[in-house]
Structure 1
Amino acid sequence: MWSFLFPLVAAATTEKQPMSPPLSYVALGDSLAAGIQSDSSQGLGYSDYLAQKLESIDYLGAFTKSFAVPGYTSNDVREGLKQPQQVQAIAEADIVTISVGANDFLKVWKENPEHLQDPNVTSALFAKLGENYTNIVKTIHKINPSSKVYIMGYYNAFYAYPEAEQQNLVALMHKINQLIESVTRAEGQTFVPTFSLIEKNYPVYLPNPENIHPGSEGYKVITSAFWEAMKEELPVTIKRIAGKDRYETAIAISQEGWEASDIVVLARGDTFPDALAGAPLAHLLDAPILLTKPNELLESVSTELHRLNAKKVYVLGGPGALAEEHIFKELERLGYTPIRVAGKDRYETAVRIAEKMEAEALGSSKTAIVANGSKYPDALSAASYAAETGTAIYLTKAESVPEITKTALAEMNRTLLIGGPTAISEKAAQTMPNTTRYAGVDRYQTSVTVTRELNPSSKVFLATGETFADALTGSVLAAKWDYSFLLVPPHHLHDSIETVAEEMDVFRFTILGGEGAINPAYEKQLTKFRP
């Protein structure tokens, strides 16, 4: 029924990507809602940027600005609400934005500017504007009582005019804003002021002094005003992906993210070294990571391989990690093509994974991520970012860099160190090219630092920092869905995690693992980020 709207949501990478709640957004009004630019061309306005904001957190179900028309007055918007198409759109809208009213006066000013000096004329104009606005808001409420309406106040579009002429126009604009705000609040809706925001930098926000329309930066700052008002009304959504153990949770993550996959990455589920560097390779191959026991291909894993219709299985680690007879040969017997990616130890395995990434991508990144190979949290904190950016993860010892790692890093232009000096010493760091360190006082603050500085998002995956498995398998899905990733304590929110979640305006939390991994109290704790 929304076929006449302008869809902005790109096709999801998987049908199971969470899209609830799908909000419908309708923009009404004048050229500002339509997106007329400072050079009078058609482009992206605040309504488009708002739609993109909603889309970025997977909240946008439908959007249209087809009812926003340059030159529209409040009377035009009022009359438009009588049209069946608009009534249908408003009836299904969760969010409505309006910017209208300035043209009621600008049309008079352009045709007979002296009329605006006549108190009788201006009084009549204000009376009509107030009547129209009241009718507009009441009509929207009558059509759809549950929709949220956000109404924009105007800025000074005449900052370059002579002072005397500008004073009268500014006074007029303030009076228009006061009237719009009064009606908006009286009807229980939200007024969005923009005057003081645009006033802070007229040349940047209104780059053409001869045109009243903003440039892209101006529209973005107007969007920020709408967003500050709007975000408090948006709900936080919390989802948990879990199985009865780490093996079943990995399968649940696979089922959530992949309807099918020609390739699967298989790792040992009871210990971490060979799998730490696997997330970027899995994401590059668009493959889930599954876990199994070192000497047994679990029946549930075999069932999932069949569901995915897999052809190849990349086995991470040597025969000591995943046995040749019980894993590799069993995969062959079942009709899959196993490809072992392994070295003599965890450090060489990480290098071999990086080489496989280079071969698959037909080229290499010149940035490397380096983490301590004896401790999993730092590598896992960066796994989602590494996967999303196609950056290989290399492993090192705390006080010295293994020769095979040092040789691989010699080809790099930049090194991202994950963890503090106790994880990777300054002495070891000095042997690496162009290093930047991302660290906190513990594993949780390191995770926060990586997320804040490298991979911020309004959507976050949470996995326990006490074990490696859920974070490893979930990091690939986080990258696939463009989510940030945080390691968390199993029973309570770490203060630094709470802080960064508030900073990033997180609206979507996906918890990985069952209640034994992350306590069910988390769901309640996370809801406090919004009313």
Structure 2
Amino acid sequence: MKQVKSIFIAILILFIAVLGMPLDSDAKVPDRKVINYVALGDSLAAGYTPVEFGDSGFKLEKIKGYPEYLKDRFQKSNYKVTLNNHSVPGATTIDLVDKLKEEEVINNIAKADVITIDIGANDLLEHLYTNDRSRLYEASGEALENIEDILGIIKESTDAKIYVMGYYNALWSLPIEEGTKEELVSFLHQFNHGIKQITETNQAIFVPTFQAIAEDYETYLPYPDIHLSQEGYQAVAKEFWKKMTPRKFGN
């Protein structure tokens, strides 16, 4: 009988202790860190995708680009995020250099904790369908020089972490002869390598996307167009996120 009584008392004490513990809803939740995120780039950062348009093919439609999906990831990791997306569809490296002279952009960069950049593809697109390969290589050299200038300008006014995207194979679904396509893909690898070198020389972080998109071209590039699907932008955001660990940003 004494043993039963002892067991009962022990259970009662445990029950009282449990009742005294704070529930999850009562526990103190850590304050959310505030993070200022600036996105710079072209239509990929702006978030455009091809959609079917009746019998006439497809048209581009504005959706969430990879910066918006990155913002979602930060918020799920208990960050309060301010996203200033200054990307412009069709922007070239020269356009971005000019964009960095705008007062609003300058101010946002100065306050930034994180900056992402994708730029350079539009410098090359007009030369892809020509037989003038020398001009294509010349344009890529000019684009890389401009990217170095862009990183230099940004680093003059901020200590933010800077992430620069490498390009995926946007030629996969385009109507280009196979031999020519292989040559251009080889060129793309060289261009990405150039971006990577310049990025790392300037103490920024290179984010490759070529392999990630190559894993499922039919889902990520479903139309004969260079722009990604919604799933494609999510995949690119995932590649950026991998490079953002450990994620210690904001105040």
Q: Structures share a fold, TM > 0.5?
A: yes
1:141 aligns with 2:158: no
> Paired residue for 2:164?
151
> Paired residue for 2:61?
41
1:198 aligns with 2:218: no
> Aligned to 2:131, what secondary structure does the other structure show?
helix
Which among 178, 181, 193 is matched to residue 196 of structure 2?
Answer: 181
Distance 2:139 2:177 in 1: 25
Which among 104, 116, 120 is matched to residue 123 of structure 2?
Answer: 104
Which among 83, 90, 95 is matched to residue 76 of structure 1?
Answer: 95
**Cα distance, 1:69 vs. partner?**
0.7
> Aligned to 2:89, what secondary structure does the other structure show?
coil
Structure 1, residues 430-450: CA drift from partner, whole Å, max 9, x if none?
xxxxxxxxxxxxxxxxxxxxx
- Cα 1:107–1:33 change in 2 (3 A) is same
Matched-pair contact (CA < 8 Å) for 2:70–2:237: yes
**Cα distance, 1:34 vs. partner?**
0.3
> Aligned to 2:48, what secondary structure does the other structure show?
coil
> Paired residue for 2:236?
222
1:85 aligns with 2:104: yes
**Cα distance, 1:130 vs. partner?**
1.9
Distance 1:212 1:122 in 2: 18
Matched-pair contact (CA < 8 Å) for 1:25–1:60: no
Structure 1, residues 51-99: CA drift from partner, whole Å, max 9, x if none?
111112231331021x101100111111111111110010011000001
1:128 aligns with 2:142: yes
1:234 aligns with 2:248: yes
Structure 1, residues 109-148: CA drift from partner, whole Å, max 9, x if none?
36xx223x2x2x234313311221111111111011x200
Matched-pair contact (CA < 8 Å) for 2:151–2:202: yes
**Cα distance, 1:175 vs. partner?**
1.6
Matched-pair contact (CA < 8 Å) for 2:34–2:250: no
Matched-pair contact (CA < 8 Å) for 2:36–2:250: no
Distance 1:101 1:20 in 2: 35
Which among 214, 221, 227 is matched to residue 213 of structure 1?
Answer: 227
1:162 aligns with 2:182: no
Distance 1:235 1:32 in 2: 24
Matches within 5 A, 1:233-252: 233-234=247-248
**Cα distance, 1:163 vs. partner?**
1.3
> Paired residue for 2:84?
64
> Aligned to 1:22, what secondary structure does the other structure show?
strand
> Bigger relative contact order, structure 1 or 2, given CA contacts below 8 A and separation 6+?
2
> Aligned to 1:69, what secondary structure does the other structure show?
coil
Kindly name which structure, 1 or 2, has the bigger radius of gyration based on alpha carbons: 1
**Cα distance, 1:233 vs. partner?**
3.8
Could you say what the CA RMSD is over the residues aligned between the two structures, in angstroms? 1.9
**Cα distance, 1:200 vs. partner?**
1.0
Structure 1, residues 252-276: CA drift from partner, whole Å, max 9, x if none?
xxxxxxxxxxxxxxxxxxxxxxxxx
Scaled by the length of structure 1, the TM-score of the pair is 0.39
Aligned partner letter, 1:30 = D
Structure 1, residues 281-327: CA drift from partner, whole Å, max 9, x if none?
xxxxxxxxxxxxxxxxxxxxxxxxxxxxxxxxxxxxxxxxxxxxxxx
Distance 2:46 2:199 in 1: 21
Distance 2:103 2:119 in 1: 21
Distance 2:142 2:245 in 1: 32
> Aligned to 1:232, what secondary structure does the other structure show?
coil
Aligned partner letter, 1:183 = I
Matches within 5 A, 1:413-428: none
Distance 1:74 1:83 in 2: 15
Matched-pair contact (CA < 8 Å) for 1:96–1:148: yes
> Paired residue for 2:4?
none
Gaps of 5+ in 1: 1-15, 238-531
Percent of paired sites with the same residue? 34
Aligned partner letter, 1:90 = I
> Aligned to 1:37, what secondary structure does the other structure show?
strand
**Cα distance, 1:172 vs. partner?**
2.1
Distance 2:96 2:250 in 1: 33
Distance 2:147 2:80 in 1: 27
> Paired residue for 2:24?
none
Matches within 5 A, 1:381-396: none
- Report runs of 4+ in structure 1 exceeding 6 Å deviation: none
Matches within 5 A, 1:103-502: 103-109=122-128, 113-115=130-132, 117=133, 119=134, 121-144=135-158, 146-160=159-173, 161-208=176-223, 210-234=224-248
Structure 1, residues 469-506: CA drift from partner, whole Å, max 9, x if none?
xxxxxxxxxxxxxxxxxxxxxxxxxxxxxxxxxxxxxx
> Paired residue for 1:471?
none
> Paired residue for 1:54?
74
Matched-pair contact (CA < 8 Å) for 1:72–1:100: yes
Distance 1:159 1:236 in 2: 38
> Paired residue for 2:57?
none
Matched-pair contact (CA < 8 Å) for 1:38–1:206: no
